[in-house]
Structure 1
Amino acid sequence: VDILSWLFKEHFASIKDVFVDFIHCSSSFACVKDTSLCFTAVHILGDAANKLAGGELEGAEKPRTTTSDDEDETQQTYWVAILTGLSAAVNDTRIELRTRVLNVLFETLRTHGSTFSKGLWQVVFQGVLFPIFDDVHHADTTDLAIFEESNDWLSTTCFSAMHLLIELFYQYFKSVGFILPQLLSLLSACVEQPHIIVSNIGITCTSQLIEFLKSDLDEEGWKEVVATLDRGIDAMHIASRIVLRQEVHTDAEGEEGEVRDVRPDTLLTRMDILPLFLSALEERADMIVEKAGSDGVLCIVQGIEKLGKGLIEADSDTNLKLEHLTLKRLRSSDSLRVQAISCHKLILRMAKLFFSTREDDEKHGDFERIVVQSIASPLSEVMHLESVVGTKEVSKELQHDKALALKQYSELAVVCLQSLRELGPDFFQKHLDLVYSPVIELIRASDIELRSAVVSVMEVCVRPFLDKK
């Protein structure tokens, strides 16, 4: 490699005509056992990229692999040789080497990408960048403990690589925007994995991408983003299906298509992933409501509603839940319930944002149905729990869980009542048949804050109609 370095520095003019062969030869040293030789080879490849971008290969003979005299094809051949040579070491077992290679690779693309044609960008993403992340597509086929212990790349390099990929895509969005569906597909594949490291990378980088592109995406782009978020929501729904021993289908509706083999031992990590995903949605809620369009927002809210219902159903099946607790697949008896409550709160927040910004939207009716259900069901659940906590109907083993559930649902009910009050008397009157009875029943609740919230709702939403009469 020292000879190659000397040739490159001192006799570059002599190697121009065999530039591709020279690059291939240099690349072969990028993954050898001697790390210092690897660093030298990587340095040569980085300098070769600068020479190429600087026009120093003009006048060289055409590479043997080119099929025409087209200059674009020649340039593409040179760039692909350099970039594939660098990418070969991105997954090396030595962290110091792969970190250096990763930085050189993306610095080269950031610096010289403005000269790339659309065709070259297509080749770069499909043939160089996306293959870096091939391992994440196979994460769900490996035992969790073995996978995380043996795959050091995931915990030390994968996030940096994905972050650099997102930044590069944003930098050249006008030139590479056509790659968005494939990029979102990669991120979605990460989110769906049962490994918390991989899934969290997908969640974080999807959120980052949405933030970067909030002002640049057109209607079709937002449709792609919504579809990705919807797939993520459905992937989160797998947790409740595991508890209930339901089949997990490959399609979004969960009714047709091939059945996915989902291992029960992934439940614990899937439940750890769920709050990260909901938190990311919460963080981007304002932007989604503003930019995604009525159909997109409704799709996401309906997905969250379905997710919440699944979690509540799973939480209600006491025997199955206790079985998973015994097998240490759940961290606590309220793990499912806590996330279901988060779904309720997220629905209320997104719906209120929708109502405040889209007063005359044709989707108002669909949103109102979801909101009314999200308000009424926790109120009814509080009174149900009030009737069973402390009674002989519930075994001693379950008393603590039911008492905790009553406390948690009472807190959620206060939030629901506050939302109902903010929606105003017209909304209350319109949905009187669904909300009046659950609200009135809460006058008998043991929680004083809850009773105060009921009084506040009656003052704001009921008194105006009584005064008119």
Structure 2
Amino acid sequence: MTELQSPTDPRIFCLTKIVEIAHYNVNRIRLVWSRIWKVLSEFFVSVGLLENLSVAIFVMDSLRQLAMKFLEREELANYNFQNEFLRPFVIVMQKSNAPEVRELIVRCVSQMVLSRVNNIKSGWKGVFMVFTSAAADDTKSIVLLAFETMEKIVRDYFPYITETENTTFTDCVNCLIAFTSSQFNSDANLNAIAFLRFCAVKLADEGFGCQEKCTDEPRNLGMSDGNATVDKDDSISLWIPLLAGLAKLTSDSRSTIKRSAVGVLFDILKDHGQLFSESFWTNILESVIYPLFSSERSSSNDPTSTPSIPEDDFSNLETQTLAVKCLVGLFINFFDVMRPELARVASIVTYFIRSPYKHSASIGVSALMRLIEGVGGELSKEEWKDILLRFKESVAHTFLVFSKIVRMMQDIEIPDRFESYSENDQYSDHENYGNEEEEANMETTSYAIVKLKNHMALLLLVVQGIIKLYEEHRKYLSSDHINILLEMISAIATHASEVSSESSLLLKFHKACSLMEVSEPAIVHFENESYQTYLKLLQALFRDYPSMSEEMDIESQILRVCEKILRIYLQCAQREPSNEALHRNASIHCIVPLGAAKKEELAARTSLVLLVMQLLGNLEEDSFRRVLPWFFPLLVDLIRCEHSSGEVQHALYKIFQSSIGPMLTV
């Protein structure tokens, strides 16, 4: 070593002789050669790490020649001499500070693979370790050269990897995952994930799978220290590092990598899931799939989360919404083997409905509808009930959003000013407001308005989903199931009335929207749609299932909804329900004109009142006679209402003429 350490004139005579000794002894009995190489390899590593570049390159090139000769011989079964022989390349690759030496190592190893691939067995571990180190290199040419060779290996030499021990494939997967972190080439990052998909295709083509005969799969699909815990006698174990590696990438900090990893992970399960047994599916879900949604469940349980959201949370949310859609599709495709996981899958999907973010919650509703559409015909009564109860619980949880808005706006005062604030600069133009407190109030109000709009849009989506669910799956629904749907839609309609009754809050929103020149929340539309859909569902039940409707007293529910709608209309028209004593004592009555906003609200509510009138007018004579005492005071108040529309008055005229009149003449 002393003669090699001269910075100006190193002498390599002894080094050359040592290389020759190694060359002449390479064909000796393997156990003898192993003891010789243990001493020589440490020497070659020390020389390869010298600062003198020419000496380091010389010894690496000499090692390449020795390796080419050594790899001419096939390796004996259950021995790892090749891995020991290639270890100097790995150590120098990891520790050398000279990019020239590292690039030479990559080229040497690439040449070995391409020319001696038939004989490589345990040596694959050293090959993949060299390329894994190259993937993290800070020299672009080294990274690209190594990835080019990895492409060649995966495309053309895949069978040579799987025919050796299972940990070889784990090393291959780890190497591809390392390339996803390359800082030089985003295409290489995504191509590495694409090659993981290609590996899955190759495994399936070569028949690596597990059907019912496989009963003792590993209980943990996780990867520790880069290696999966596998049973070497079980072909299914080759899927473990692949799936676990993709699961690891789903938590990457880069959104493109996360989305790609989620897509490839679920595509592999969808395309090759038929190869897996039920117990292996259970392990996949527990160790790979369910952990993807852990952060969503924790965040959705917090209804008081603040409006400021870290960028990572947005990225995680995007990944999770993609994953939940893929999970539902996967569950539908493999329902027979995944059926025991129905409750867990339904829980994940319905928890998305609780999300404080509009897009995520909407995805939860649509995913649940897709789940029911896909497997509804196969579900038992208990499974239906479990899904609907989870749905109901999550919808009820969303009502907390409005409570939060009310608390948020409780101490907020909106200025009585009419300067014009555009929607685009409501957060940035600080000069528009008199002081910081006023500006903060306006920002809070703007946020609250957006939250309320999103809240109502979500609940309307739920209402539409309930109607669609009934129309498409009513033949599978029992009275218990239908009762849950009615309770849900009734709760939403009642909640809509509660929102509409918060007059002080709505006045603040009206003033704020005028100042900021943004549209007001469509609260009347929300309330109308909720009650109209509720009434539509009750009528459909009354028509489709007469006997069930009688048991559930659907007719009384219809009448209560109709009464509620008429009372809301009268209250809007500033005409409270009748008090006959007051009417008899009233001697003077003045018509107070309505404001423009009230006129618009009254016009918006007219269609729903007309629907109630039509429903009352279509009742059978006996039914109408039975409910008349209930509705007659309300009908009289509608006649006395000065601000009701001509359409409402005409509908009243028809009821009195066709239904009430004949009763008086009898």
Determine what percentage of the aligned residue pairs are the same residue.
20
1:214 is paired with a residue whose SS is: helix
- 1:417 lines up with 2:613 in the alignment: yes
TM superposition shift of 1:149: 9.0
Distance change in 2, residues 1:409/1:40 (3 Å) = closer
Equivalent-residue separation in structure 1 for 2:380 and 2:230 (angstroms): 38
- 1:104 lines up with 2:253 in the alignment: no
Q: How does 1:329-368 map to 2 (within 5 A)?
A: 335-361=522-548, 364-368=551-555
Equivalent-residue separation in structure 2 for 1:178 and 1:464 (angstroms): 61
For residue 177 of structure 1, what is the aligned residue in structure 2? 339
Bigger shift: 80-89 or 15-24? 15-24
- Could you tell me which amino acid in structure 2 is paired with residue 420 of structure 1? L
2:595 is paired with a residue whose SS is: helix
- 1:321 lines up with 2:506 in the alignment: yes
For residue 29 of structure 1, what is the aligned residue in structure 2? 179
Distance change in 2, residues 1:104/1:65 (3 Å) = closer
Q: How does 1:68-467 map to 2 (within 5 A)?
A: 74-92=234-252, 94=254, 96-139=256-299, 143-147=306-310, 151-152=314-315, 154=317, 158-242=320-404, 245=407, 265=448, 266-287=451-472, 289-323=474-508, 335-361=522-548, 364-387=551-574, 399-445=595-641, 446-458=644-656, 461-462=659-660
The answer as to whether partners of 2:166 and 2:238 remain within 8 angstroms in 1 is: no
TM superposition shift of 1:202: 0.8
Residues 135-168 of structure 1: per-residue CA shift (max 9 Å, x gap): 433545654353579624645x554433222211
TM superposition shift of 1:176: 0.8
For residue 38 of structure 1, what is the aligned residue in structure 2? 189
1:50 to 201, 211, 235: 201
How many correspondences in the alignment? Answer: 442
- Could you tell me which amino acid in structure 1 is paired with residue 483 of structure 2? L
Distance change in 2, residues 1:216/1:148 (3 Å) = farther
For residue 37 of structure 2, what is the aligned residue in structure 1? none
Alignment TM-score, normalising by the size of structure 2: 0.58
Equivalent-residue separation in structure 1 for 2:544 and 2:458 (angstroms): 31
The answer as to whether partners of 1:190 and 1:199 remain within 8 angstroms in 2 is: yes
Alignment TM-score, normalising by the size of structure 1: 0.80
- Could you tell me which amino acid in structure 1 is paired with residue 468 of structure 2? E
Distance change in 2, residues 1:334/1:459 (3 Å) = farther
TM superposition shift of 1:21: 3.9
Equivalent-residue separation in structure 1 for 2:634 and 2:311 (angstroms): 48
Distance change in 2, residues 1:43/1:305 (3 Å) = closer
- Could you tell me which amino acid in structure 2 is paired with residue 88 of structure 1? K
TM superposition shift of 1:220: 1.8
The answer as to whether partners of 1:27 and 1:85 remain within 8 angstroms in 2 is: yes
2:161 to 12, 16, 32: 12
Distance change in 2, residues 1:77/1:429 (3 Å) = farther
- Could you tell me which amino acid in structure 2 is paired with residue 405 of structure 1? E
Residues 329-365 of structure 1: per-residue CA shift (max 9 Å, x gap): 9x76663332222111111111111111211116644
Alpha-carbon RMSD across the aligned residues, in angstroms, is 3.8
For residue 258 of structure 1, what is the aligned residue in structure 2? none
Query: What residue ranges of structure 1 are gaps of 5+ in the alignment?
Result: 247-262
Equivalent-residue separation in structure 1 for 2:163 and 2:398 (angstroms): 58
Distance change in 2, residues 1:461/1:352 (3 Å) = farther
Equivalent-residue separation in structure 2 for 1:385 and 1:130 (angstroms): 49
- Could you tell me which amino acid in structure 1 is paired with residue 307 of structure 2? L
The answer as to whether partners of 1:440 and 1:454 remain within 8 angstroms in 2 is: no
Structure showing greater relative contact order (alpha-carbon pairs closer than 8 Å, 6 or more residues apart): 1
The answer as to whether partners of 1:187 and 1:205 remain within 8 angstroms in 2 is: yes
The answer as to whether partners of 1:308 and 1:343 remain within 8 angstroms in 2 is: yes
For residue 257 of structure 1, what is the aligned residue in structure 2? none
1:146 is paired with a residue whose SS is: coil
Residues 81-102 of structure 1: per-residue CA shift (max 9 Å, x gap): 2112123333545555444433
